[in-house]
Structure 1
Amino acid sequence: MSHIVEASGDDERELVKDLVKGDQNAFNLLYQKYSSLIYRKIFLMTKYEHIADELLQDIFLKIWSNRANINPDKSFKAWLYTIAQNVVYDYYRKLAHDKKMQDYFIESFNNLYSETEDYLLNKERNAILSAALETLSPKRREIFKLCKFEDKSYKEVADILQISPSTVSNQLVAATKSIKEYVFLHSQEFLMICIGLYLRK
């Protein structure tokens, strides 16, 4: 494991200023300081050493290529973490276009739906669920909320909305399918969950 260079905020700011000017030694010192931290972050997101190794090199290559755009007066660590996260997400987005993985998703769609159900009902993810709900018709959205959020039976919902229980059932199935498809297409986090399932099969 490489030795991590300790530096004060002022020292690091000077290193970043030198990096912006194209100083290779400054780049090497910043790499030495942060590469292990970034590697651990990538590995937690990908779970594979060879992928983490490859993406780590991509990240620092981007840093060197975009050094002129770095603001030395802002947190280099925060900027570096943002670059790392974007590189990992780009990797996953490219992987999602892989034909074999798409075929796997189609074959395993029922299992992925089960994963989505748990994902959706986690209160920490209200934003993506709220956005998905807005794509539904008013009646379908209300049925979903009554059944899933208020845990009402089909008969109770049917009585409230003055429709048949079978209509409630059909509308709930359609609403759930639409919401899960929305999450599948729009959530980076869930995309990573799905790809993680694929990589582990």
Structure 2
Amino acid sequence: MNKSTEVGPETISLLKSGNRPAFDEIYHHYSSNLYLRILKMVKVQEVADELLQDVFLKVWLKRDLIDENQPIKAWIYKIAQNCIYDHYRLLAKDAKMRQYLIDHYSELYNETEEYLLNKERRAVLNLALDRLPEKRKQIFMLCRIEGKSYEEAASILNISPSTVSNQLVKATKSMRDYVFFHSKEFMIFAIALHLNK
């Protein structure tokens, strides 16, 4: 079979119906080239092996979502991309990897307000804001969004300016951490970092 072409529509239809031989055909048709792409991204054979298996497990489990009017290759590669992103998200939770990425891509660690300039970043920022404890969220909103001074925020919330300062530091760090590790830009830079090792 010429692997430069798509598998036939009848094979895709059979896969959607749960036909295992059809799945095997699709696996053998796409797995070799996909494995090489994954290996290029992660650089470790064992990891690439696991990710490839994860991809085709998802292909099988999500087969009912296949759009028979669209190329199945693009759908499979999209699943692979998401698996790679998930892999780097897990790596980012490791403290050493986390610090290494921050040290090497500090440009992603900009002032939080800059994220308001981009719709996607703003959506991530809103999610980060919602994760803050209520009092910390109020302080962040008053000082960073509304531009109030520590004294003004302290008066509104009936707390001391030093409490406002301490809580704002924690809120800002929490916001930046969340935005940094949940934006697509981070994923792109993380992959680039790994490729350049």
Matched, 1:131 2:127: yes
Structure 2 equivalent of residue 91 of structure 1: 87
Structure-2 separation of matches of 1:183 and 1:103: 15
Matched, 1:101 2:92: no
Structure 1 equivalent of residue 171 of structure 2: 175
Cα distance change of structure 1 residues 88 and 74 upon mapping to structure 2, 3 Å threshold: same
Cα distance change of structure 1 residues 112 and 118 upon mapping to structure 2, 3 Å threshold: farther
Cα distance change of structure 1 residues 64 and 174 upon mapping to structure 2, 3 Å threshold: closer
Question: For residues 36-56 of structure 1, what are the alpha-carbon distances to aligned partners after superposition, in whole Å with 9 as ceiling and x for unaligned?
Answer: 7x94xx6xxxxx935389677
Cα distance change of structure 1 residues 88 and 142 upon mapping to structure 2, 3 Å threshold: same
Once the 2 structures are TM-superposed, how far is the Cα of residue 176 of structure 1 from its aligned partner? 0.4
Is residue 92–residue 192 contact of structure 1 (8 Å, CA) maintained in 2?
Answer: yes
Structure 1 equivalent of residue 106 of structure 2: 111
2:4 is aligned with what amino acid? I
2:66 is aligned with what amino acid? K
Once the 2 structures are TM-superposed, how far is the Cα of residue 22 of structure 1 from its aligned partner? 2.3
Give the SS at the match of 1:91.
Answer: helix
Give the SS at the match of 1:4.
Answer: coil
Once the 2 structures are TM-superposed, how far is the Cα of residue 98 of structure 1 from its aligned partner? 5.8
The 5-angstrom pairing of residues 178-197 of structure 1 reads: 178-183=174-179, 187=182, 189=184, 192=187, 195-196=190-191
Matched, 1:161 2:156: yes
Once the 2 structures are TM-superposed, how far is the Cα of residue 141 of structure 1 from its aligned partner? 1.8
Give the SS at the match of 1:88.
Answer: helix
Structure-2 separation of matches of 1:156 and 1:85: 48
Structure 2 equivalent of residue 21 of structure 1: 20
TM-score, normalized by length of structure 1? 0.56
Alignment counterpart, residue 141 of structure 2, candidates 142, 145, 163: 145
Which structure is richer in relative contact order (CA contacts within 8 A, separation 6 or more)?
2
Once the 2 structures are TM-superposed, how far is the Cα of residue 123 of structure 1 from its aligned partner? 3.4
Give the SS at the match of 1:83.
Answer: helix
Is residue 128–residue 183 contact of structure 1 (8 Å, CA) maintained in 2?
Answer: yes
Task: Compute the RMSD of aligned alpha carbons.
Answer: 5.0
Once the 2 structures are TM-superposed, how far is the Cα of residue 112 of structure 1 from its aligned partner? 7.0
Structure-2 separation of matches of 1:73 and 1:136: 36
Give the SS at the match of 1:22.
Answer: helix
Cα distance change of structure 1 residues 110 and 65 upon mapping to structure 2, 3 Å threshold: closer
Q: Provide structure 2 residue ranges, at least 5 long, that are not aligned to the other structure.
A: none
Once the 2 structures are TM-superposed, how far is the Cα of residue 162 of structure 1 from its aligned partner? 7.2
Once the 2 structures are TM-superposed, how far is the Cα of residue 135 of structure 1 from its aligned partner? 3.6
TM-score, normalized by length of structure 2? 0.57
Structure 2 equivalent of residue 45 of structure 1: none
